[in-house]
Structure 1
């Protein structure tokens, strides 16, 4: 397998991040490779068996200004609203660096977004990675390049 152009430091930052989901019930945090009971309950209550946590902030991991990031996030939300099931599948979120080096990234948890569709969406918005979870409710980092 070819080596990713994404640095080990950036991958480590993605792995240590907190992926906060602003659920209408009780907000919760997803962590890479850790089972999430709240996500499992959300799957059960929504009837979905997978989800992706995606952002449009900071394409290719390069810091952008606030205006550019917010505009990209608005484009992503518009794109998500046009998926089958639309807004009912989308929950606001925030990618957070527990060390405080990176600013918070406005993000979305998209219920029912299969892995291949998650990868395509991440690539469409020039992202290095997405976070994806299947029926086991374990979020996994999926590198896109």
Structure 2
């Protein structure tokens, strides 16, 4: 095998992550129809304790075969296995629904989510549909996507672009954590 191809999985995955971050940045910046005002690209300063608690209690369901549920701060063996199988050192569970927790009509949410998925498709990363659902069902579930191999900075960029207060991210240990962009 040529020396240039003899890379550790970590180095390869890191380069893929950087490449995907660059690709996603180009997709977001170079497409005028996807650009938003500076105000829309800015996340509000702090989240209420109630909202952070709700995010922490939400069930993040991945529509894989078989489906599995992630919980913030709890190891998820299914996620870890999936990441290992896909040679991914990280994963992000993200949505374009309900910007800054403002409930939008279903048609708008679907259009936003379709745009997110189209952007991710261009990156070549593995994406699996999912939904974030609070167990109380007081807030409608938000259609989401698990993106394997997406590095943290690229995930933050996507979350800011789609006006999200937070998203779920996991390193190779398979423990989902809540991240504010």
Q: Does 1:59 align with 2:105?
A: no
Q: Does 1:107 align with 2:144?
A: yes
1:95 aligned residue: 132
1:39 aligned residue: 79
Could you tell me which runs of 5 or more consecutive residues in structure 2 were left unpaired when the two chains were aligned: 1-43
Spell out structure 1 runs of 4+ moving beyond 2 A: none
Distance of 1:103 and 1:8 partners within structure 2: 20
* Aligned-residue CA RMSD (Å): 1.2
Distance of 2:173 and 2:75 partners within structure 1: 7
TM-score (norm 2): 0.74
Distance of 2:170 and 2:63 partners within structure 1: 17
Q: Does 1:20 align with 2:99?
A: no
TM-score (norm 1): 0.92
Matched residue SS, 1:90 = strand
Q: Does 1:141 align with 2:178?
A: yes
Could you tell me which runs of 5 or more consecutive residues in structure 1 were left unpaired when the two chains were aligned: none
The count of residues paired between Structure 1 and Structure 2 equals 138
Structure possessing the higher radius of gyration over alpha carbons: 2
Q: Larger % of strand: which? A: 1
